[in-house]
Amino acid sequence: PGRLVGGVSAPGIHPDVMVELIEGDPVVTLPTGEMPPLRISPSYRKLATDKSADRQTRQFVRGNVRSARWLISAVEQRRATLQRVAEAVFDVQREFLLEGTEVLRPLPMADVANVVGVHVATISRTVAGKYVQTPLGVYPLRMFFSGGTTSDDGEDVAWDAVKARLQ
């Protein structure tokens, strides 16, 4: 109804992580999409060591090449962390991929942080604003982290699973 006023449709959600079950095991992949690989121009790398260029130019280019290498490394590390976090999450939440929200298990970020070997704050930043495509649909990655309770039969159950069963 707001289209008459706003005229712009809402953007779609593009998943940052894709997970599927292959022979009963969750397989996590990160879509590359249309993003080209990051690289440093060969001409800039050459200029950084070119003795015929003046000293100030070489120092300037070297500094920027160093910064570019750091940025490329940081982007690759961020992708690797996201991959490891998603793998750790779906090792625990494997049943979700088969049955849905009703079987979510409690999963504190601290547990995943211990498995991945990073600080809890890193896990929080890693999953913030990220979406995962599963065989059951697209969900916020943060949804898979929650507290829970223990059922009468001693099974750990996430609060979202309790809510789903009540609905």
- Chain segment 81-139, per-residue pLDDT in tens: 999 999 999 999 998 898 888 888 888 888 999 999 999 999 999 999 999 999 999 99
Give Cα separations from 83 to 16, 31, 50, 86, 141 (angstroms). 10, 11, 39, 5, 12
pTM here?
Answer: 0.77
Beta carbons of 82 and 17 less than 8 angstroms apart:
yes
Dihedral angle over CA of 106, 110, 113, 119, nearest 10: 150
Mean predicted lDDT score pLDDT of the chain = 86
pLDDT recorded at residue 152: 64
Burial (CB < 10 A; 0-12, 13-18, 19+), residue 139, is middle
Looking at residue 130, its pLDDT comes to 95
Beta bridge partners of 134: 137
Percent of the chain with pLDDT over 90: 44
Q: What are phi and psi of 54, to 5 degrees?
A: -65, 155
User: pLDDT above 70 covers what percent of the chain?
Assistant: 85
Q: Does pLDDT of 2 surpass 80?
A: no
